[in-house]
Each structure stands twice: as C-alpha cells, then as structure tokens.
Amino acid sequence: MNPVKTFSWFDEEEDLVVVASQYPFSTSTNTISYIWDAETLILVPVGTTGEDYSDDQLSLVDSLLETGEIGQAAETLDTVMYPARYYNNEEMSCKFLIAAHTASIVAFKEGNIQSAMQYYEEACSAFERVSCNMNWCCTFESVEHFQESPFSEFISMYELSSILSDYAVIFKNDDQIRARSFAWCAAVLGEY
C-alpha cells in the first residue's frame, strides 16, 4: 500500500468498506473490498480488483499503431500518466516510425503521396511528445554513431536504412531538403 495515494470509503449499496491504493509514480491501482463481521469484529476481505489507466492507454496506442491511425495514437500517448514508468522514449519513437512507414507505404502504393507524407508528420508529432528530436532518424553521422545510440536496441540499422530510403522516394517531389536528408542518412547506415 502507498499511504500517500490510499483512499477508503463505505459503499452503502453493497454494504462494503472499500480501500484503494495506487502505486507510487504509477496509475496501477489495487482495490480491496471488505465486509464487517459483527461476530469477530473484523473486516473480512471479499474481493479485489486491479486496474492501470496508463497501461490501458498504452495498449490502445499499440492498437492504433497496428491499424495505421498514427495521429490518434500520438494523441492517445499524451494521456499516459507517469510516462517514464511505462515506456522508453526511444522504443516508442521506433514503434511510431515503423507503424508510420507501414501506413505510408500502403498510401504511396495507392498513389496517395500526401497521406504517405502525413503519416510521417504524425510520427514526428509523437517523437516530440516523447522528448525525442523530431528528426532523430536522420541524425546519425556514422554506423558507429547509430550502434552507440539507444535507438539501436529497438530498430535494426538495416530496417532504419530501408525506411529512410523509402521516405526519400516519398518526399522527393514535395520536400527536396527532407528527401535528401533521408537519402543521406540511409546511405550512411547502408555502409555496414
């Protein structure tokens, strides 16, 4: 129990004493219900429940990413309380980049280049939300630089290079500067 975040009340409908406690720096909450035993003069536990709002929101983020709803996933990420307890910033950035890339490729193949670019922009919104540089995937100056970065734990150099190559093609007619940046970093990572 966390004394700072422990609350109790009497549930008149059920005739129960309820005690709920939330873990420190977390939204994980355990609730125990008691009934008063008049013969023994003690509270007898009759049920427990557990819930975790932030964990539920992260599950929703994952579901939204799987269905290509990158912008909605980024907005949902904002609702996660105590984010440092629930996810790694670099891992989350990689998840968003991979999901955005998948959605971008589908849109690109359907001839919808604006949507393909928009998925990347929505991923950039998530990068900023998790305190990562929105252009993190284009900041690696060498293979060693990438391998020493925390991102290398969550995305392979080959996968990142491939994603950046695809984005170089997607952005080439609408944003030459960004397209060149993608192509340059893809080439750097491709030198392994």
Residue type, 94: C
Q: Which residues pair with 47 in a beta bridge?
A: 33
pTM given for the model: 0.86
Torsion of the alpha carbons at 141, 146, 150 and 155, rounded to the nearest 10: 130
Q: Is the pLDDT of residue 131 over 90?
A: no
157-171 helix and 176-189 helix, angle to the nearest 10 degrees? 160
Q: Is the pLDDT of residue 192 over 50?
A: no
- Residues 6+ positions from 121 with CB-CB distance below 8 Å: none
Q: Is the pLDDT of residue 166 over 60?
A: yes
Cβ atoms of 96 and 128 within 8 Å: the answer is: no
Q: Is the pLDDT of residue 117 over 90?
A: yes
Q: Which residues pair with 16 in a beta bridge?
A: 11
Q: What is the pLDDT of residues 1-35, one digit of tens each?
A: 788 899 999 999 989 999 999 999 999 999 999 99
Beta-strand ranges (E) seen in the chain are 6-11, 16-22, 28-37, 42-52
| Whole-number Cα distances in Å, 18 to 7, 171, 180 | 8, 57, 60
Q: What is the pLDDT of residues 63-89, one digit of tens each?
A: 999 999 999 999 999 999 999 999 999
Q: Which of 58, 188, 169 is nearest to 120 (CA)?
A: 169
**Cα-Cα end-to-end distance for the chain:** 51
Strands 16-22 and 28-37: antiparallel
Q: Is 139 left (phi over 0), alpha (psi -120 to 50) or beta?
A: alpha
Mean pLDDT of 45-65: 96
